[in-house]
Structure 1
Amino acid sequence: MISDIRDYPWSNLLAGLLPARLAARLPEGVQPKTAQIVPPGSVAGNALTVVIAIMSFLACLTAGAVYMINQSAQAWVNDLSSEITVELDPIDTADIEKKMTLVALFLAKQKGVTRVKPLTAEDSAKLLEPWLGQSDALSALPIPRLIAVEIDRSSPPDIALIKNALTQNFEGVTLDDHRRWQTEIKTLTRSAALAGLSVLGLVAAATVAVIVSATSSAMASNRAIIEVLHFVGANERFISREFERHFLGLGVRAGLVGAVAATIAFMALPYLVQMLGGGGSVTAAETQRLIGTGELDFPGYLLCVLVVVVVAAICMLTSRLGVVRVLKSYE
């Protein structure tokens, strides 16, 4: 294997990554030592380049979308795991404000609790505005009073113990540790990841099918050249390298086009998210809380680069296997 890597015509491979006009302007030390045997025009057509570019674009979009969903879900889980919510039932409570103060003082004394924030009646009503809108009727409704409790994630409190203590000492008080919501978010994230992997698998399968078809077509159109090469003693490895060089260059160029198009789409996504928010501050905030800001960070853009590498590798390996399969059928 080491000798194969050392003897591989890397200069020919580098020239195959570039268009013919640019490859001709390379320095002499990088110029391929042997001329191209298979005409480039008979292997990589414009239609094939467009198809692979579209496949790369879809793959980059899918990988970036799954990455953003995972990041948003992780942020949700971190927020939920760092807080618990205590709810006070306002029905049959004569002095709700006094009860709020007593419960808040009780929670502040618990080990692992870093901050206790009782929400006013106006704050509780604002939480319902995205669903019920702004209405004076909200003030007449028995809206539950809430206490937001921040906990130390490095040394969390005993939630079950606090819940039992609240039930025994205070009537109409319940504690929500958001575990159900965390489970729902994790399930949603896994489903999105599986859907993304399925789409990536379909894109890879379609790319392989297209390359196999293009390889067979190129082999058929260059049958006379291949037969002459066989006659003069060229082996399968030599012939397959000639084809894989073309398809590797095609994969890199088309993959870059798809990745650049996907990058532009991701850069425009935050503006689309802002438009989906309708321009209102509350609606925009809720939209960003639901699907994130739509911005892709540096590791996310690295995924697009990885997609280009994978697409180029698929093109090269598929062309080599296709050439070997066709050459065996000639025997």
Structure 2
Amino acid sequence: MASTDSGSAIAPTHRWLRLLWIVPAALVLFAGVVLAARGIRSLPEVQSFLAVYPGTTTLPDSAPVGIPAWLAWQHGLNAFFLFFIIRTGWQIRRTGRPTSFWKRTNTGLLRTKRPPTRIGLNVWLHLGWDTLWVLNGVLFYVLLFATGQWLRLVPVTWSIVPNAASAALQYASLDWPMENGWINYNALQTISYFLVVFVAAPLALLTGLRLSPSWTSRRMSALFPIRVARALHVAVMLFFVAFISVHVFLVFTTGALRNLNHMYAAQDGEGWHGFAIFAGALVVTIVVWAAARPRVVRAIAALTGTITDRPAPPPQPAP
């Protein structure tokens, strides 16, 4: 019995040790990309290309200038919700079969003809964060088109493609492209934000609906198999993780104070206001992370439904 406990205690350490090779491999890959990009930039033809396509495109005359306060708040809330969506989604994949379940109370305004479906408690938590994210997203889309801010996110000319390639090469060589995000994003940013807002987010919602217990259409299920939906849902999650990682890295390496002012304070400047709001949001995120313990989650879920536990397996007879 002692040897089993020792083995189980050492196993996680061994798993982490086996992953340590990723760090030096990533550093070598990063250095290789930078050196290759700088070598490519030294070519006369590439220098001419960068002169013609500096990495930015011209916005329409009707495009708004600056970032309004509502967009800064939307950005902060979206980041907060998305963080916990990714966390709970990963927990669902890791835990496998749930041990605790939630079943909606079928009374009051939420009463339905169909009996409620029992779902895992971790799925309930994931769907809860999803709901908040979707509500925030609906408001975001309404304000985005009502205020004309969509003009800053939607490519309107094919020249954005070579300009995006130019910006990518400049980023890869660690010689950041000239930009002023308060007025206009560079071409690579525009394409990235367009993909996030108009492709990845709707796809996450669509695949999430297909995986949710509320999906009951047999005809649509045949057209959109759950296996395909699950694969796309995971792919979108990985895309968001990659985007957030690169996004955060660039925010802090291309003028952190000014970028944080744009994103969190809706101001253009080098002050500390945006950083203070970001730090406060980070503290709130950490507090919520620490508070989201199983006992707390069960108590909150019990306000709207019944919590049950899967019976423990019977003890194995002694040999």
Q: Which category describes the TM-score, using the shorter chain as reference length? A: under 0.3
> Radius of gyration: which is bigger?
1
Per the normalisation by structure 1, the TM-score is 0.25
Per the normalisation by structure 2, the TM-score is 0.25
